């Protein structure tokens, strides 16, 4: 039997597996994601540092900037002002801090000198009415200034507005015994705003500002002076009125006692009760004049001592302590007249005739009348 050959069967070839392609895009995405995470972390860390630096003032520059807070400013306006001044980098962050710390209730209107090195908490503390960082101005009130002149000077130095200060002078009820019974009005505090040098806050409360002058007057009027007033036969207001006349009329300190004697002599006279003091008319004129005219002496005003006998209704300026003492201690003289000479001092006379001779001898002052 013939040998059977095995016919080789063709091998069934298994299908070749294709190699998976390398996912290059996946690696790139991972790298980009990693870089994004690193960048975002760095950015957030940087922002966190900047915010922390703004809140805590870790590396801020040391400088000073003026900040003025008004009654109308809310916390957003305050934050913007701090930002514009370079004190706060992120206004939104300060607003957020203010919201959680009730800063708006703590900050008071006023002008302040804040520092770049202050953190948020220190800034809020610095913008309070009791803060030592409030802007301060020094104002000198000369002897003889009127209330009008004082208010204008305070306003010019930024203490407060003329209108606010005037309203306080006219209407505020200060608790001082020497002001009891005085009628409201612009002239109410005339004579009581003591001349001196004062430190005020910029945009200070007007009541506080005026009270500084009144409190100083109260201190300067010692018990010894008050006792002398009680013994003088005049009220404090009348003594201040006499002192204000002396303050306005005296050319130098040596003349105060003599001018005081003229005033007292006339007040005690039966025939020369008209004081005829030019300064009382100047007080009511719209503008001060170098020399009064006859028409000026006819003005119908209770301050016109050419027309009405005795003292005017009140002081015509705010006198210093030297004039107050002179009002209480007049020189012992028989003078009833005085006239300004070309040398800038006064000549004192006993009679009208002597007085007229002084006037005629000084044509440069009186125009030869």
For 33-64, write each residue's pLDDT tens digit: 666 667 666 666 666 666 777 877 788 888 99
Q: Where in the chain is the domain with CATH 3.30.1490.480?
A: 64-126
Q: What is the dihedral of CA 231, 235, 236, 237, to 10 degrees?
A: -160
CATH class of 64-126: alpha beta
Token match 């209730």: residue?
105
* Paired residues of 348 in beta bridges: 338
Q: What is the dihedral of CA 264, 267, 271, 277, to 10 degrees?
A: 80
pTM of the model: 0.77
pLDDT of residue 56: 78
CA distances (Å), 309 to each of 87, 266, 352, in order? Answer: 64, 9, 18
Q: Residues 89, 55: contact at Cβ < 8 Å?
A: no
For 204-239, write each residue's pLDDT tens digit: 999 999 999 999 999 999 999 999 999 999 999 999
Q: How far is CA 114 from the centre of its chain?
A: 18
The C-alpha angle with vertex 174 and arms to 70 and 243, in degrees rounded to 5, equals 115
pLDDT bucket at 1, cuts 50 / 70 / 90: very low
- Cα(149)–Cα(244) distance, rounded to whole angstroms? 15
What percent of the chain has a predicted confidence (pLDDT) above 70? 87
pLDDT of residue 25: 66
pLDDT of residue 24: 60
Q: How is domain 136-220 classified at the architecture level of CATH?
A: 2-Layer Sandwich (3.30)
- Cα(278)–Cα(37) distance, rounded to whole angstroms? 88
- Cα(215)–Cα(358) distance, rounded to whole angstroms? 43
Q: Residues 322, 253: contact at Cβ < 8 Å?
A: yes
pLDDT of residue 34: 65
Average pLDDT score over the chain: 89
């Amino acid at each position: 039997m013939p040998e059977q050959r095995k016919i080789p069967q063709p091998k069934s070839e298994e299908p070749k597996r294709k190699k998976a392609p390398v996912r290059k895009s996946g690696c790139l995405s991972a790298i980009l994601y990693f870089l994004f995470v690193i960048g975002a972390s760095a950015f957030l860390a940087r922002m966190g540092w900047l915010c922390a630096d703004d809140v805590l003032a870790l590396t801020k520059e040391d400088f000073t900037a003026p900040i003025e807070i008004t009654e109308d400013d809310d916390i957003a306006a305050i934050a913007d002002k701090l930002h514009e001044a370079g004190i706060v980098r992120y206004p939104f962050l300060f607003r957020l801090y203010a919201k959680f710390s009730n800063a708006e209730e703590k900050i008071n209107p006023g002008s302040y000198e804040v520092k770049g090195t202050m953190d948020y908490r220190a800034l809020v503390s610095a913008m309070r009415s009791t803060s030592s960082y409030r802007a301060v101005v020094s104002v000198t009130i000369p002897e003889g200034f009127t209330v009008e002149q004082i208010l204008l000077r305070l306003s010019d130095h930024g203490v407060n507005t003329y209108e606010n200060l005037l309203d306080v002078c006219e209407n505020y009820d200060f608790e001082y015994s020497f002001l009891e019974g005085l009628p409201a009005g612009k002239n109410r505090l005339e004579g009581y705003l003591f001349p001196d040098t004062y430190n005020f806050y910029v945009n200070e409360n007007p009541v506080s500002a005026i009270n500084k002058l009144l409190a100083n007057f109260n201190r300067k009027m010692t018990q010894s002076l008050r006792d002398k007033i009680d013994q003088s036969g005049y009220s404090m207001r009348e003594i201040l009125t006499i002192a204000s006349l002396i303050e306005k009329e005296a050319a130098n300190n040596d003349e105060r006692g003599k001018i005081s004697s003229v005033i007292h002599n006339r007040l005690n006279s039966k025939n020369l009760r008209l004081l005829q003091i030019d300064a009382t008319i100047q007080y009511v004129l719209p503008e001060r004049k170098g020399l009064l005219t006859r028409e000026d002496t006819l003005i119908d005003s209770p301050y016109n001592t050419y027309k009405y006998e005795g003292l005017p209704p009140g002081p015509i300026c705010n006198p210093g302590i030297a004039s107050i003492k002179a009002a209480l201690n007049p020189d012992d003289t028989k003078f009833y007249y005085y006239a300004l000479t070309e040398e800038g001092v006064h000549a004192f006379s006993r009679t009208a005739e002597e007085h007229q001779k002084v006037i005629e001898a000084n044509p440069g002052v009186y125009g030869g009348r």
